[in-house]
A and B are shown apart, each in its own frame.
Chain A
Amino acid sequence: MQEILSTIDTGTIEWSRAQFALTAIYHWLFVPLTLGLAVIMGIMETCYYRTKNVFWRDVTKFWQKLFGINFAMGVATGIILEFEFGTNWSNYSWFVGDIFGAPLAIEGIVAFFMESTFVAVMFFGWKKVSAGFHLAATWLTGLGATISAWWILVANAWMQNPVGCEFNPDTMRNEMVSFADVALSPFAVDKFCHTVISAWIIGAVFTVAVSGWYLMKRREIPLAKASMKIGAIVGIVAAMGAAITGHHSAYSVAQVQPMKLAAMEALYNGGTDQSLTGIALINPFEQPDYANQEEPELKIAVPYALSFLATNDLHGYVPGINDIIKGGYTNADGEVEPSLEEKIERGQLAINALAAYRQAKKDGADEATLTSYLSTLSSNMKYFGYGYIRSVDQVVPFIPINFYAFRMMVGMGCLLILFFAVILFFVYRKDIARAPKWLYLSALAMILLSYIASECGWLVAEFGRQPWTIQDMLPTWVSVSHLQSSSVMITFFIFLALFTTLLAVELSILVKQIKKGPEYEAQV
């Protein structure tokens, strides 16, 4: 048995993961609101452009101000993630550098400059440029932010489904062989659609909640009614869109990350005609005994729904955790899935071949010897990461967090559809300005719930792919830098303090501006 990186402190891995998660979660507080409010204010300004009614200009300006506060607070929070790659995850960064370089560079150059240029026109250009150009600038600001999100999600999708690359044993890096495969992989497209549409929900909920607060206080009524209507329409369309794109996302996961799907579903033993678990009793703090349990206790399920979700066929085969470990079933590529044991053996062959190749090259070995090592490496590279696996447990993600986070995301998604439907009922059939107080209060509560749902989506995406930083290629304990865990722990708490302070500052500015309300140029 090989002992690899035995001197890496497990605390370093856990603190590095915790720090990355903290930064990503914090960054994701700002991004969805930026993407969502961009759509809302784009629609409002389009109303102004079409009607020439200055009321819509005032409404647009008000939401643009809140957008600006959120935009300013979110600026550069994502860059810390890149610092963490270089410091805490140096092996990983080197291993993937050439793949990540292109999407992140495009994100930085094209999207950032597009965003920042049109933001200036949007805020400063009301009296300087034509109404049409201003409207274009507003939409292009949102488009720039969305393109930014696209490239970041392409990079993330590559980690979940590494395609379009080839490993170079001389440079120890994966090199891009097809930009189109990386940028337009079905996994990336599904991830982008689901993530961006779910971000629109956050913007819609925020708009409805702030408007609801005004209606509860009996002020800014025309603005609140108009905003509530647009927010709720965007919200219900986005929430239903998130359900559809969520189905595509789950299908993609089933194709390339079956273990993640099995963990999300707590599906220990799979088969055909699989039902989708609505709820079941799983200890949230302990990994279940999946090897010996048939299924979770008190399981309530929707018949055939999991098979449909994973295969688009009510009778499709969905492998459970134990099936994936045992192998032998036909996978999404139509091939017989090897057992975990075989993958581990082949991973070790790949690692040994790589080490032997590099040593042989240093020793000046002949071409035939080098070719032989490269051939072994190439035929087993797909399972490279499994060479670091020591026990079955290491490839099974922590089931409770995946299981409950997935249900919270889906449950709150359904609740949001209902919520927006109720709001629209009051908008069109009753008087939203005279709705019961509980509706306004529930709108405020929905801000928190929608953020929880959104962050839960990321929890599923990232916890579900454990132990991999790059699916099947590199586990976390190989990706991490050889750092003292105490130094990573210290920076974790520095971030916690910094992020909490910045968040408090943002919220106070945002709340102050909401309380101050819009500045009308039109007679209301």
Chain B
Amino acid sequence: MQHRSFIYRTYDLYRDGFRHMTIGKMLWLIVIVKLFLIFVVLKIFFFPNFLSQHAEEGEEAEYVATQILTIDN
């Protein structure tokens, strides 16, 4: 093992680690489901980038200025 390359030893660390996980398998499943919910469901359907939806690219400053400097005297 000591003569193996750094890359192989790193690969071996992860391969063996994932193979022998016990509670870790369930945790990974939860993490994957959570990441799916956060990055796919929440981000796409509930958290669009407001400025990119309401302002042309490059015109964000103008949009924000309109929003925060709108003054009715």
Contact = CB atoms under 8 A, between A and B. Distances in A.
Interface string B24-55: 10111011001101110011001111110010
A408 to B, nearest CB: 31
22 contacts: A5-B67, A5-B70, A68-B23, A72-B27, A72-B28, A75-B31, A75-B34, A80-B38, A88-B50, A120-B13, A120-B17, A123-B17, A124-B14, A128-B16, A170-B61, A172-B64, A358-B65, A483-B50, A491-B42, A491-B46, A491-B47, A505-B30
Contact of A172 (B26, B34, B65, B71): B65
Given A6-B72, A72-B30, A355-B69, A65 B49 contact: no
B34 to A, nearest CB: 6
Given A79-B38, A502-B34, A120 B27 contact: no
Highest count of chain B CB atoms <10 Å: which of A3, A87, A171: A87
Contacts of A6: 72
Nearest to A498: B37
Interface string A152-172: 000000000000000000111
Nearest to B61: A172
Interface residues on A, range: 35 or more
9 interchain residue pairs of minimum CB distance: A124-B17, A90-B50, A83-B47, A72-B27, A172-B61, A355-B69, A87-B47, A481-B50, A94-B64
Contact of B49 (A72, A86, A124, A491): A86
Contacts of B73: 2
A84 B47 contact: yes
B60 A94 contact: yes
**Chain B contact residues: over half helix, strand or loop, or mixed?**
helix
A245 B28 CA distance: 37
Contacts of A88: 50
B12 A128 contact: yes
Contacts, number: 118
A509 B26 contact: yes
A351 B65 CA distance: 10
Interface of A: 2-6, 65, 68-69, 72-73, 75-76, 79-80, 83-84, 86-88, 90-91, 93-95, 120-121, 123-125, 128-129, 170-173, 351-352, 354-355, 358, 478, 481-483, 491, 494, 498, 502, 505, 509, 513
A482 B67 contact: yes
Nearest to A3: B72
Contacts of A65: 23
Nearest to A479: B68
Contacts of B12: 128
A388 to B, nearest CB: 8
